[in-house]
Structure 1
Amino acid sequence: MAAPPSDLQSLTALLRQTSLKDHEGVLKAANAVLRKSKTNIEALHVKVVSLLKLDRYEDALRVLEEGGDRLKERATLEWAYTLYRVGQYADVESVARKAGGKSRGLRHVEAQTEAHKRMQYYRLENFPEAADLYKQLSKDLSGAVENEENDLWINSGATDAQLEWAGLGYLAQKKQPSREDMEAFEMAYNAACASIARGELGQGEVLLRRAKDLCNTLEELSDEEKTAEILSITVQQIYVLTKLGKIQEAEKLSSEISIENIPEISTRRIAQNNSLIATEQQINPYLAHRIFHCSLPMSKTKKPFGFQASLLRRNNYTIDLLSLKYAGVIKSTAKYISEHPSPTVSADVNSISVLNAAAQAQNQIGKAGLKEILPLLEKRPSDVGLILTVLQLYLLTNNHGSAIHLLESFLKRLEASSTAADQDVRFAPGLIGVLISLYSLQSRKSHIRTELAKAASYWRCKPKPSPGLLGAAGKALLGSSKPADHATAAEIFESLKEQDPDNRLSIAGYIASHVTPSSDLLKFQADIDKLSPIPRLDAAALEEAGVPHAPTLGASASKKRAADTTTAAPPKKKRVRKSRLPKDFDPSKPPDPERWLPLRDRSSYRPKGKKGKARAAAATQGGISASEKDGEKIELVGGTGVVKVEKVGSGGGGGKAKKKKGKGTKR
């Protein structure tokens, strides 16, 4: 049954008012038409749009399902967006594939879906695909609607921040905030989140303050919307202040907000969690347990992101441990570990392994903790989190040798495996860093170079190697005296320079590994100009943190040069008591330099009598010294004052001749 023309005309006239913002009025007009004609496709479409504008996503989905395939074909974009808002992400992909990706709106929805989709298993959100979609949309702006470019900037910044949080920062399009990020509060907030994820907390705090200021001055938002946005920014700001150690500022800021007024349930849960930490007072663990678990349950579409859920899960187990709930933690963490393969480099799984070990040891450390945890290694020999826990306990007991042996044995087992996943764990940058740190404690430089060279050789064959690990390997190999190591370092820095031509470490390593005394510096002038001028550099800090050249001076020469360039402080004059000075001491006269020698050995000594003159004659040049008669020979070595004493053999098997003591002789 068709709708009366008058109703359709009134509805069409109402929709033509493009500046209309009364979505309730549009919904009433659509319902009036549908009461007379339930299958009117245009009225159903208008109703769906109105419900979406009013954030009534479940009602919009119900109308779409009742409208059938005809309505879904007409309102494909609205259908995909509704599925996205209710959390049916797999269905969004199906709708987008059926539409063939022709609509820019559908591609936007698909990108949002990839950015928010929860993955099975322990994997984090699938942000790389979202970043690629936004990159494609930014390149081709033909057919773009009003303000779409601005939306692309905001969504791309959010995706970059999520890539940083997920540990995939090398895939982010922007690594540092730009001037455009200071123009809108959404951009400033996304740039702040990316900086915080990279560990640049100071920069993140500045950007959060900027986002607050921009939000307050925005006229497009109502007071309620401004309050909601500023609450979210403040929750992030409390986290940053707590990480920076500014507990008093964080506690004051936390007391100024009302957690109950935060509209988003996931943000409210995070704010409640951070309030337990942002305080200088030691909170009762049982009270913290009650506060932590009193939050509202979250729906499917309001759940936190994967990295946030992981932190909340760990905090839950930590509070249980503080509340002495060891048996419950052991049971639940053991189940979680058994559901995931081992070995793995997942921070989530390995952190749960650490908490499982803490529950087994009942929060004991040192030898008592080792006694409880070591038997677990027999059951879980490939558990990376457990191995790192045992390593930490070995280090706390100064048992460095056992720590190195444990990690070396584990890595050897992985190296013998034929599984590609095990090889990725074997050469994981984090584990390599732990092993290098252990070798550094024992100054095993050759082992450090060997291990870094092996790791660099493995990751250079991969499509996306770790720049940090390759840079560390290049620096270590440059300090080697082997030409082959220098050649490998040159290849490493050349590849790093190709990946990031503006990275100073890569440029410095490239120059250090390629320039020789016979090289033409003009070929490297463009790269040299990218580095800081020498007068502005701190030489000591550069040698400590920069790329070292091969040593050209010996150890003695280096020490001598250091002694020449260092101005020694004048020695403090020692005070001598008067009781220790001779009676005829005159401070204006220099002391006799031979005052420590026996009287007969001084140059001013003159023997008296016949026996004294005979002894003096025996000590003249060509005579036999008393020391040679006793069987000893004294020799000065190298003119440095070092004395070498050797025995002079008597030619036979006899011992030392006995010296006769004269009768009545006094000296």
Structure 2
Amino acid sequence: MALIAVASNNVVCINKDQNLFDSKKKMKAALNEALVYKLPSRQRKYIALNNAILNYYINQTELCEKICKNIEDTYPDLMIQILILRALNLIKADKVKEAIELLKKTERQDNRLYLHLCIAQIHLMQGERQEACKVLENLGEHSYKPGIVGALTTLYLGLGDEQMALKVFQRTVEYYKRNEITKAGLSSLWRQAAEFHIKKGLPQVAANSLEELLKTDSNDRKLIAQLILACSQFDIPRALELSKRLPDVKDIAKDVDIEALLVSTLNAPTYSKKSPAVKQDSLPSTPRDEGKKKKTDKHKKRKGKLPLNYDPNVGPDPERWLARHERTGYRKKRDRRSKEVIKGSQGTTSAQAEQYDFSKFVEDNASTSAPMETTPKGSKAQPSQSKKGQKKGKSKRR
């Protein structure tokens, strides 16, 4: 059980803000109540902290705040981490001012720099560069640290305020000079300050930085050369004095074989950039005759063919741009197809015609409605004659 809890906590740390659903399941296994007496307090402390961070990632702000307060009461040594997590939780809830006030309320001086850097970062997250610069400048002696100086100069240059960036470097140089602080780790700061001041046309301030840097390494020839260039603009005697530290040119070139150097340069491969071919006429060395015109290939134009019945005395038809059916002289094509009326049944045979001939049924109904003739009792109607009469009637109707 304890091994599973530790492994689950490690998986949550690896996932960070990714795969949060899996992290939530793993954290549930790590927070099992049966592990209270199986895990040491140090492991339980960090599992609780990771649980609070996980709830921050999954946007459970209220639950995250509740867990943070419980951790503050149980593990006071995690107060700074919990304080920052609560501030981030407030920022996620759009309460930036409350988050900054929460960080300012702390009374612990050992973490004052860390908390002020967090406040500056919050201002930068909101796009407030000027407020971040104010926070970094009000750090007391911490504001002269190389990292803080670099951050301030970068922010001021980003705001377009070069004068304030220069002042930051000047104050830093004066502070280290006044307190006689010469550390090997400050060499990069002095060098950057000197280069920055030389670019901005302040050789005297750059010389002060280089002088302080020269104290750490008095045999650096490159540094001496930079200092000579800076001092030559305002203090020539000092530049001449420094130039004596550099070795003589004859001593430097004593072991150099000039002939071997020349041979090596002659035998060195030459790389030439291929340029597009230039016509002979466009070269400046070939003179041109102003009288001669540039020869160009001339193509003879063919004369257009005219129609056979073309008459130059007759003007063009004004209706030539109209469609043919819209012109005045347009005659429609004659339809030569027969227009006879089709009579009779179409698509049916004679047997079907009799079947669908309703006039026959009308006449039969009329004949049945007429009075029947009486015949004598002794005589019978001959069916054969009546059938013949019906057949004759049919033939007549046809």
The TM-score with structure 1 as length reference comes to 0.27
TM norm structure 2: 0.42
Decide which structure has the larger Cα Rg and report it: 2
